[in-house]
Amino acid sequence: GQQLNQSPQSMFIQEGEDVSMNCTSSSIFNTWLWYKQDPGEGPVLLIALYKAGELTSNGRLTAQFGITRKDSFLNISASIPSDVGIYFCAGAGGTSYGKLTFGQGTILTVHP
Amino acid sequence: KAGVTQTPRYLIKTRGQQVTLSCSPISGHRSVSWYQQTPGQGLQFLFEYFSETQRNKGNFPGRFSGRQFSNSRSEMNVSTLELGDSALYLCASSKTPDGGELFFGEGSRLTVL
């Protein structure tokens, strides 16, 4: 099925560094969401974006809804070891009725 | 506030058997969605229910079915299990009428032998 192009696929960084990841799509979305998933757990919603151009922060996390509505990025500032996990972007159409299109995920490893 | 609760967390079945997974959404959430997560295909949408009605369905065979009860709790069933059905099955609930912003449970890990 349709998927979002999420990059990078993996990142290895030192504690304290900033991280940036992004998603692009050939389709327009009305909502962009960012999730984090730890091993053996379900995805946890980090940030939800509803408007083109919107920039939203949640603590050390900042995400933006691209102006074209076909892309979004997530930044994590001053990374800490507990940031380790898989980060997913997801897009929803106008009337999604539960259907999100997910990116392939970015595996983040933080070295202390 | 309790999150989305899924049971069982882990189960092992053999080919040809069937399985039923249960999901209790966040209190007040009426939209419940199901996803299959595998290493190869990632997160794939199965179906969504709202007020006991299936409003949306993904591209899965008819062996995958679901239902929702009047208290918004939901179950999904997979019949005639195949090895490829081994996956993490995730339930998510949403407070928004269009079911866009999803909150996921911890999942049910199904292994088919």
Local confidence band at B96 (pLDDT 50, 70, 90 cut-offs): confident
Q: Is the peptide bond before B61 cis (omega within 30 degrees of 0)?
A: no
Q: pLDDT tens digit string along A89-98?
A: 999 987 778 8
Q: Inform me whether the C-beta atom of residue A97 falls under 8 Å from chain B C-beta atoms.
A: yes
Compare all CA atoms of chain A with the CA of B109 and give the residue at the minimum distance: A40
pLDDT at B99: 64
Local confidence band at A2 (pLDDT 50, 70, 90 cut-offs): low
Q: Do B42 and A41 touch (CB under 8 A)?
A: no
pLDDT at A41: 92
pLDDT at B1 over 80: no
Q: pLDDT tens digit string along B38-60?
A: 998 999 999 999 999 999 999 99
Q: Do A45 and B103 touch (CB under 8 A)?
A: yes
Q: pLDDT tens digit string along B3-49?
A: 999 999 999 999 999 999 999 999 999 999 999 999 989 999 999 99
Q: Position of tokens 């996956």?
A: B87
Q: Chain B contacts of A41, Cβ < 8 Å?
A: 106-107
As given in the structure block, the two tokens for residue A39 are: 């091993």
Residue among A33, A97, A104 minimizing CB distance to B55: A97
Whole-angstrom distance, CA of residue B39 vs CA of residue A37: 13
Q: Do A45 and B102 touch (CB under 8 A)?
A: yes
pLDDT at A1 over 60: no
Q: pLDDT tens digit string along A24-83?
A: 999 999 999 999 999 889 999 999 999 999 999 999 999 999 999 999 999 999 999 999
Whole-angstrom distance, CA of residue B47 vs CA of residue B34: 6
Compare all CA atoms of chain A with the CA of B98 and give the residue at the minimum distance: A97
- Segment 26-55 of chain B within 8 Å of chain A by CB: 31-33, 42-45, 47-48, 50, 55
Q: Rounded mean pLDDT of B73-96?
A: 96
Q: Rounded mean pLDDT of A96-104?
A: 90
| Dihedral pair phi/psi, residue B84, rounded to 5° | -70, -5
Q: pLDDT tens digit string along B57-81?
A: 999 999 999 999 999 999 999 999 9
Q: Chain B contacts of A1, Cβ < 8 Å?
A: 44-45, 58-59
Local confidence band at B95 (pLDDT 50, 70, 90 cut-offs): confident
Question: If you ran DSSP here, which 8-state letter would residue A103 be given?
Answer: B
Q: Do B45 and A98 touch (CB under 8 A)?
A: yes
pLDDT at B98 over 80: no
